[in-house]
Structures are given as structure tokens and as C-alpha cells.
Amino acid sequence: KKIIFSGIQPSGALTLGNYLGALKNWVNLQEENDCYFCVVDQHAITVPQEAKNLRKNTLEVLALYIACGIDPEKSSLFIQSHVSAHAELSWVLNTMTYMGQLNRMTQYKEKSEKSEANLNAGLFTYPVLMAADILLYQTDAVPVGDDQKQHIELARDLAERFNSRYSETFKVPEPMISKFGSRIMSLQEPTKKMSKSDSDANAFILLLDDADTIKRKIKRAVTDSIGVVSYNDEQLGVKNLMTIYSKLSGESIESIQNKYEGKGYGVFKEDLAEVVAEGLRPVREKAEYLLKNKDQLELVYTKGAEKAEKVARKTLRKVYKKIGFIERK
């Protein structure tokens, strides 16, 4: 039995990328493991958020966890700001992280190049908070999309540094990134990853998009002039669409390639739209139901935080003792 930890930021509605790269893979893990799935609201405020939206998005992410098949009876679902140990350990780890390490984080580099006006210290030390999230639970594995690999590397590095400076305290976590479909690309610019913060709404599909919206976005998805449904790096748009098709339907790439041999992109896209719309329909319906029954969500995050708090406190207590903080009597 392994300990699994992962989280998603409530910085907007979740995309098909979040689902295929992360959420969908979590569901199977909960049968055999001890899983913690967190809504990381403290990470979300590293970019400006309206309080009202943050509240709405936080509950929405939680509802989507459950709607995608995460069972609150099996896994601990909670909200990051409810367990104060995350912020506390994050401070300690901040004092052990080199500026150079954070400077090398590609996600920070990209974000800081985009908008100088929004640069704040939280955005810079964001990966340290993520390391705290993971290390507090003595996590074995972190199921994420490809873009989080470097952040998990930092968590490993900090665990090792602390363990060697003091004594064995943290388990060193492993990233768990699927070989196929761990980076879903933008429907408009298939060299960029699909992101909820993209200014072009046609670039992403949201888990709560209705069937008509999904069909329209897929119809408009960028392809090429080659006109053959084939999986290769010369046709990145088509490659991405085939990946989505395969991930959602369970059909192999080879079988999809054969199925659409001699047919154009029109037919392929129409079928894909059907696969996506039908695949997401139950998720959307369940999430909409839960969002109308907020009491149920409240029970879930309350119970989740209680369980998480106990485990997290235990690790934090050890850390405080080792670094020389006097225990409050």
C-alpha cells in the first residue's frame, strides 16, 4: 500500500488536460492505496483572484474530483488552506531552498516573462509550497501531468537535503507520469500545452462545457493540409486529437488510424466530438448535481481535512523538533 498525493489549483475551470493528465489516473489508484487529493487554493492566489471566483472554483474542483470518480470514502479530499501545516512546512523548506533552484523553474520563467506586473514572491516560491504539500504526507508517488515533473524534482531534492542535514524525516517521493497523454496540447496552437489560463477559449475544452460547445471547439481545432489521420510529429494538431480520442475511448492509436484510413478530418472530428461530449457528460452532470448540494461537499472537505491534519501535524512536529523549535507545552 502506497501513499499517493496530488492536487489541482482552483484558478479557473478544469480542462480536458487536467482530466486526462491527472484526474483520470487518480481514480484507479484509490483502490489499493492511501490517497490524498487536495484543492490547492493557496497556490491559486499566486496570481490575482477575485474572492468570489476563488470560492466558486474551489468547490467546483472538489465537485469535479468526486464527479470523475474519486470516492470520498476511499480517499481523503480536502482544501489546502484548511490544513495550516502546509504553509508552516513551506516556510521551513523556504529557508532550505536555493534561489538558483527556483530561478531555474521553467514554469516560473514562462510566467514571469509573460506578465511582469504580476510578479510576486509567492509565484517564485510556489514550488516550495508544493514540496511541503507532498512531503507532509510521507508520499510515495505523485500522479501528475508532464508539466509538474520539475516541481517534483525539487520536492525530492528538499527531502534529501533535510534528511541528510538532520536525520531521516521525509520519504523521497516519485513522480507518476503516464507515458502516453501526459501533455494534452492546445487545440489552437498544438505546440503549446492546453491551459485554463489561455486567452483563447477555443484552445481548451472545459470539463463543464456542454456538448454543443465541445463540438464547436473540436470542429475549429487546428489541423493541417495533409489530410491523413496519422500519428506523427509532422501533424501535431492531429496527433493531439488522436491522443484525446484514444485516452477517452480506450481505443489504441493504431486502431484509430485504421478506422479513419481514407477518410478526411471532417468525419474524424465529428466522431471525436461525440467521444469527448459523451465521455464528459456524466462528469458534468454529477458535478452540477453536487454543486447544487453544497452540504454534501462540506461534509467531504471537513472529514478530509480532519484526516489530513493528523498526518500532516505528525510530520511537522518531527520537523520542528529536529530544527530546534521548542515544543509548546
**Which of 3, 7, 205, 243 touches ligand TYM (CB under 6 A)?**
7
Instruction: Establish whether 193 is a catalytic residue.
Output: yes
User: 113 CB contacts (<8 Å, ≥6 apart)?
Assistant: none
The yes or no reply on residue 78 touching ligand TYM (CB under 6 A) is no
Contacting residue, 34, 41, 60, 133, with ligand TYM by CB under 6 A: 133
CA–CA separation, 76 vs 257, rounded Å? 40
Rg (CA), the chain: 21
Strands (E), the chain: 3-8, 34-39, 76-79, 141-143, 174-176
Q: Given candidates 12, 21, 72, 175, which one binds ligand TYM under the rule CB under 6 A?
A: 21
User: CA-to-CA distance for 133 and 129, rounded, in angstroms?
Assistant: 6
Q: Whose Cβ is closer to ligand TYM: residue 145's or residue 190's?
A: 145
- Which uninterrupted H or E stretch holds 238? helix 236-249
Residues 6+ apart with CB under 8 A from 168: none
Select the span of 98-106, 145-153, 270-278, 295-303 touching ligand TYM (CB under 6 A).
145-153
Q: Which stretch binds ligand TYM (CB under 6 A): 14-22, 69-77, 94-102, 250-258?
A: 14-22
The C-alpha atoms of residue 256 and residue 230 are separated, in whole angstroms, by: 9
> What is the identity of the amino acid at 94?
N
Task: Determine, following the binding rule CB under 6 A, whether residue 147 of this chain makes contact with ligand TYM.
Answer: yes
Q: How far apart are CA 319 and CA 313, in angstroms?
A: 10
Nearer to ligand TYM, 260 or 280 (CB): 280
Residue whose CB is less far from ligand TYM, 17 or 260 = 17
Minimum Å gap between C-beta 21 and ligand TYM is: 2
Q: Which of 56, 74, 149, 196 is catalytic?
A: 196
The alpha carbon dihedral of 218, 219, 225, 228 has a sign of positive
Give the distance from CA 268 to its chain's centroid: 28
Identify which range of 5-13, 236-244, 246-254, 268-276 contacts ligand TYM by CB under 6 A.
5-13
* Number of CB atoms found within 10 A of residue 232's CB: 11
Region of 138-146, 263-271, 292-300, 304-312 interacting with ligand TYM (CB under 6 A): 138-146
**How far, CA to CA in Å, does 59 sit from each of 27, 203, 220, 240, 248?**
19, 24, 31, 30, 25
User: DSSP label at 15?
Assistant: B
CA–CA gap between residue 60 and residue 65 (Å, rounded):
9
Q: Is 286 a catalytic residue?
A: no
Q: Is 25 in the site for ligand TYM (CB under 6 A)?
A: no
User: What distance in Å separates the CA atoms of residue 25 and residue 175, rounded to the nearest whole number?
Assistant: 13
When asked if residue 12 is in the footprint of ligand TYM (CB under 6 A), the reply is: no
Q: Does 144 bind ligand TYM (CB under 6 A)?
A: yes
149 is catalytic: no
Examine residue 183 and tell whether it contacts ligand TYM (CB under 6 A).
Answer: yes
Site for ligand TYM (CB under 6 A): how many residues?
A: 25
- The residue among 180 and 289 lying less far from ligand TYM, judged by its C-beta, is 180
Q: According to the binding rule CB under 6 A, does residue 97 interact with ligand TYM? A: no
Q: Is residue 36 a contact point for ligand TYM (CB under 6 A)?
A: no
Active-site positions read 111, 193, 196
Chain residues in the site for ligand TYM (CB under 6 A): 5-9, 17-18, 21-22, 40, 43, 130, 133-134, 142, 144-145, 147-148, 151, 182-184, 193-194
